[in-house]
């Protein structure tokens, strides 16, 4: 099953100035967060950790990639193991 980045939240560590991003995923491309250009989606994908983990299932995803939506814009998806 493909999972699509739905939301991105930047979290600040309490004890230092380090921040990190947390990603929420959805199984629907229609609900996915949409980047305006392929380059901006590719840049975000490059910034993501190599081991993308779905928080709710604790499964590590594979085959992360940028896809073009039918309407407009670009999304990030990954394959979630069953």
Mean pLDDT of 18-31: 84
- Non-local (6+) Cβ contacts of 26 within 8 A are 3, 4, 6, 32
Buried b (16+ CB within 10 A) or exposed e, 47-59: eeeeebebeeeee
Structure-model confidence comparison of residues 19 and 23, the more confident one: 23
Distance between CA atoms of residues 29 and 1, nearest Å = 12
Beta carbons of 80 and 2 less than 8 angstroms apart: yes
**How confident is the prediction for the chain on average, in pLDDT?**
83
- What pLDDT score was predicted for residue 57? 58
pTM of the model: 0.79
Poorest-pLDDT segment among 13-17, 20-24, 33-37: 13-17
- What pLDDT score was predicted for residue 47? 80
Mean pLDDT of 64-73: 90
**8-state DSSP, 35:** B
């Amino acid at each position: 099953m493909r999972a699509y980045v739905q939301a991105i939240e930047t979290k600040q560590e309490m004890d230092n100035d380090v921040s990190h991003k947390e990603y929420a995923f959805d199984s629907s491309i229609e609900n996915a967060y949409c980047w305006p250009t392929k380059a901006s989606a590719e840049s975000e994908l490059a910034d993501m950790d190599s081991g993308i983990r779905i928080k709710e299932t604790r499964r590590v995803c594979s085959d992360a990639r940028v896809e073009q939506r039918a309407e407009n814009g670009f999304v990030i998806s990954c394959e979630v193991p069953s």
